[in-house]
Structure 1
Amino acid sequence: MTNSSDDRPLYERDPVAWQAYLAEGNAKQARKRVGADVLIRNEQGHVLLVNPRYKPDWDLPGGMVEANETPHQAAERELCEELGVEVRAGRLLVVDWVAPHGPWDDSLMFVFDCGMVTGEQARSLRLADGELLEFRFISPDDARATLRPYVWQRLDHAVAAATDGGFRYLINGVAHGPR
């Protein structure tokens, strides 16, 4: 933003006007709901799924990002709160834009790779905060039958990205753009 009488950017010419401009944009621009999930597999290649108390269906471990929290921090926090395990969210595997549905606005869902766990690490998982009814490692085929179709698609792309070292950008669970 410049004007013809002074070619310096607005933030240098009038810092107060610049802050007002930013505040107006912040008030009017879309705010996205953001979720952060993780892919955790055991030595047999089974994936960890959770059965939340507050949802009708199984899901990937993770949850919603809180205000001013990064997605990877949210994934780590959610795993600690729900399953009593401290993990480091690894490489970003998937970003999935989810269209508005029901009372929800659109959202961005991130899936991070948390790698493989040993049998001992898997046995250390526990229901920690009452949000989950149960959790289990299941085969990808059983995951397909267990998850809602769009969550299954997100998981399937996450497993593929973890396997091939790639990244997937999805729209409602469907790959968008080059792989």
Structure 2
Amino acid sequence: MSQPISVRTVADGVARLAWSVEHTVDEVRREVARALVDHPRVETLVDPDDQAAQRVATWSGMHREGVMRGVTVGDGPVDRIVYARLATDAPVNEPGGFRALLNSFLPRKRAISQMLVRDPDGRVLLCRLTYKQDWDLPGGVVEVGESPRIAVAREVEEELGLTIDAGDLLLTDWLPPWGGWDDAICLVFDGGVHHGSVLDEVVKQEREIREVRFCTIEEVRELAADFTARRVEAAVRGRADYTESGRT
């Protein structure tokens, strides 16, 4: 006979469950429901390598909340995935509750929006950033729930003090994991053609921007990282291509 599912109060209003491989999803789901009678929150900590326990936690109705790093368990610190269900969560058998459950563990891709701004000579506006040596197109990370088109206009205004509407999408570029970053999708929007005097209107966000200037494609290749230069050249072609690290 398997040991009972462990249910203990770890903080005011918080119950923590632990179970063994013999326990089924239905058994864990029932214990979650019982614990929620007296606790607003029920949680469990799951080994990232234990796929079976992750499935049980999910289909018992608990949302994946993230990874708690360096938890002291047994002989030393380990990482644990935190799953939890709140008394206020919508029932899983309702469409909204089921979507919320799926949304908690399905992959989320980071999105970056950039703007291609050119002058009448075809030169490209590049920024020298404070946090890396390479130059790059103006833009930045899209916030949760934010339109990529709105995001790039917001970033250009925040970083450069320029109000430029984002035009057509010129390029979708996938960036593989690199240098400690997860992978991301980079969307490059058309910022139109502006006279070189637009640089006189720039108000740099000193925390992020060191220098701004229009560059020829040859200068882009010299100043930017290889994958950035490839992305810029692909965006200049303006065919709404899809590339991976700037390569078709």
TM-score between both structures, scaled by the size of structure 2: 0.60
Are 1:22 and 2:95 counterparts?
A: no
Match of 1:167 among 208, 217, 240: 240
Distance apart, 1:84 and its partner CA: 0.6
Distance apart, 1:126 and its partner CA: 2.7
Amino acid at match of 1:158: A
The answer to whether the Cα contact below 8 Å between 2:129 and 2:209 also exists between their aligned partners in 1 is yes
The answer to whether the Cα contact below 8 Å between 1:81 and 1:129 also exists between their aligned partners in 2 is no
Question: Deviations for 1:14-52, whole angstroms, at most 9, x for unmatched residues?
Answer: 995222221122111111111100000111111000011
The answer to whether the Cα contact below 8 Å between 1:84 and 1:125 also exists between their aligned partners in 2 is yes
Structure with the bigger RCO (C-alpha within 8 Å, sep 6+) is: 1
Aligned identity (percent) is: 36
Are 1:141 and 2:214 counterparts?
A: no
Amino acid at match of 1:114: G
Structure 2: give runs of 5+ residues left out of the alignment. Answer: 1-90
Are 1:132 and 2:209 counterparts?
A: yes
- Please give the alpha-carbon distance, in whole angstroms, between the structure 1 residues aligned to 2:179 and 2:226: 17
Amino acid at match of 1:74: A
Question: Deviations for 1:70-120, whole angstroms, at most 9, x for unmatched residues?
Answer: 111111011101111111000000111111223221100000001100233
The answer to whether the Cα contact below 8 Å between 1:42 and 1:122 also exists between their aligned partners in 2 is no
The answer to whether the Cα contact below 8 Å between 2:171 and 2:188 also exists between their aligned partners in 1 is yes
Structure 1: give runs of 5+ residues left out of the alignment. Answer: 1-13
Change (3 A) 1:112 1:170: same
Q: Which structure has the larger Rg over C-alpha atoms?
A: 2
Instruction: Tell me which protein shows more strand as a share of its residues.
Output: 2
SS at match of 1:81: helix
1:57-72 alignment, distance < 5 Å: 57-72=134-149
- Please give the alpha-carbon distance, in whole angstroms, between the structure 1 residues aligned to 2:179 and 2:221: 23
1:99-110 alignment, distance < 5 Å: 99-110=176-187
CA RMSD of aligned residues (A): 1.7
The answer to whether the Cα contact below 8 Å between 2:199 and 2:213 also exists between their aligned partners in 1 is no
- Please give the alpha-carbon distance, in whole angstroms, between the structure 1 residues aligned to 2:205 and 2:104: 37
Range 98-107 or range 130-139, more displaced? 98-107
SS at match of 2:163: coil
Match of 1:55 among 132, 149, 155: 132
- Please give the alpha-carbon distance, in whole angstroms, between the structure 2 residues aligned to 1:62 and 1:151: 13
Runs of 4+ in structure 1 off by over 3 angstroms are none
The answer to whether the Cα contact below 8 Å between 2:119 and 2:196 also exists between their aligned partners in 1 is yes
Range 70-79 or range 116-125, more displaced? 116-125
Distance apart, 1:54 and its partner CA: 1.4
Structure 1 counterpart of 2:117:
40
Count residues with an aligned counterpart: 158
Match of 1:114 among 188, 191, 194: 191
